[in-house]
Structure 1
Amino acid sequence: MNASRIKKKLQKQWRWWKRRSLTLGLSSLVIAMVWISMYLPDRVQSLLSTKPPVAIETLQYYQQAEAMDDTPEDVNFWKALNKSKEMNEVTVRHSYVCGEEERTLGKLNTDEIYNLLNEHPSWKGQFAGQGKVILNETILDLSPTCKERAYMSLDRDGNLSLFDGPPVQDKVIKTFFQLDINSMESSLPDDALRHLYDGIRIQDIDEYNSVLSTFSDYAREG
Structure 2
Amino acid sequence: MRIFRIKRQLRRRWKKWRRAIWTISACGLVALMAWLGLLLSQQMEDLMAKEPIAQETLGKLMEATTSSEPPQEWLESLLKTDQARIVHLNKIYTCGEESEVLGKMKPKEIALIIKEHPDWEGRLGAGGDVWLDERINGLSDTCSKDGYMGIDENGNLTLFEGPPKKEKVLKTFFQLDVETMESVLPEDVLRQLQEGIRIQDVDEYNSVLSTFSDFALEQSEKVMQQN
Same fold (TM over 0.5): yes
For 2:98, which of 92, 96, 101 is the aligned residue? 101
With over 3 angstroms needed to count, the CA separation of the structure-2 counterparts of 1:185 and 1:123, relative to structure 1, is same
Q: In the superposition, relative to structure 1, how do residues 80 and 166 fare at CA in structure 2: closer, same or farther (>3 Å)?
A: same
Larger radius of gyration: 2
CA distance in 2, matches of 1:131, 1:194: 47
State the shift of 1:68 in Å: 5.1
Shift in Å at residue 128 of structure 1? 3.2
| Correspondence list, 1:2-151, <5 A | 67=66, 69-71=68-70, 74-128=71-125, 132-151=129-148
Gap change, CA 1:65 and 1:117, over 3 Å in 2: farther
Deviation at 1:151, TM superposition (A): 0.9
RMSD: 2.8
Quote the Cα distance in structure 2 between the aligned partners of 1:103 and 1:154. 30
Partner residue of 2:11? Answer: none
Describe the shift of the 1:75–1:163 C-alpha distance in structure 2 as closer, same or farther (beyond 3 A): same
The 1:107/1:201 distance shift into structure 2, 3 A limit, reads same
Match of 1:190 in 2: 187
**Displacement, 1:131?**
6.0
Partners of 2:175 and 2:127 lie apart in 1 by 42
Alpha-carbon deviation of 1:118? 1.2
Structure 1 unaligned regions, length at least 5? 1-63
Aligned to 2:153: 156
How far apart are the structure 2 equivalents of 1:142 and 1:185?
Answer: 30
Report Cα offsets for 1:123-168 as digits up to 9, x if no partner: 1222336663222223343321122122111211222222121111
Report which stretch shifted further, 115-124 or 172-181: 172-181
Match of 1:205, as an amino acid?
Answer: V
Whether the aligned pair in 2 keeps the contact of 1:87 and 1:131 (CA below 8 Å) is no
SS at match of 2:191: helix
| Letter in structure 2 aligned against 1:197 | Q
TM-score by length of 2: 0.58
The question of 1:201 aligning with 2:201 is answered: no
SS of the residue corresponding to residue 216 of structure 2 reads coil
Q: Deviations over 1:193-215 (max 9, x none)?
A: 22112110112222111001111
For 1:65 and 1:115, how far apart are their aligned partners in 2?
A: 25
SS of structure 1 residue aligned to 2:93:
strand
The TM-score, its normalising length taken from structure 1, stands at: 0.60
Q: Which runs of 5+ in 2 are unaligned?
A: 1-62, 220-227
Instruction: Give the Cα separation in 2 of the matches to 1:65 and 1:89.
Output: 35
Q: Is the helix fraction higher in 1 or 2?
A: 2
Residue 217 to residue 77, structure 1, CA distance change in 2 (3 Å): same
Aligned to 1:177: 174
For residues 90 and 192 of structure 1, what CA distance do their matches in structure 2 show? 44
Superposed CA deviations along residues 24-61 of structure 1, whole A, max 9, x for unmatched, are xxxxxxxxxxxxxxxxxxxxxxxxxxxxxxxxxxxxxx
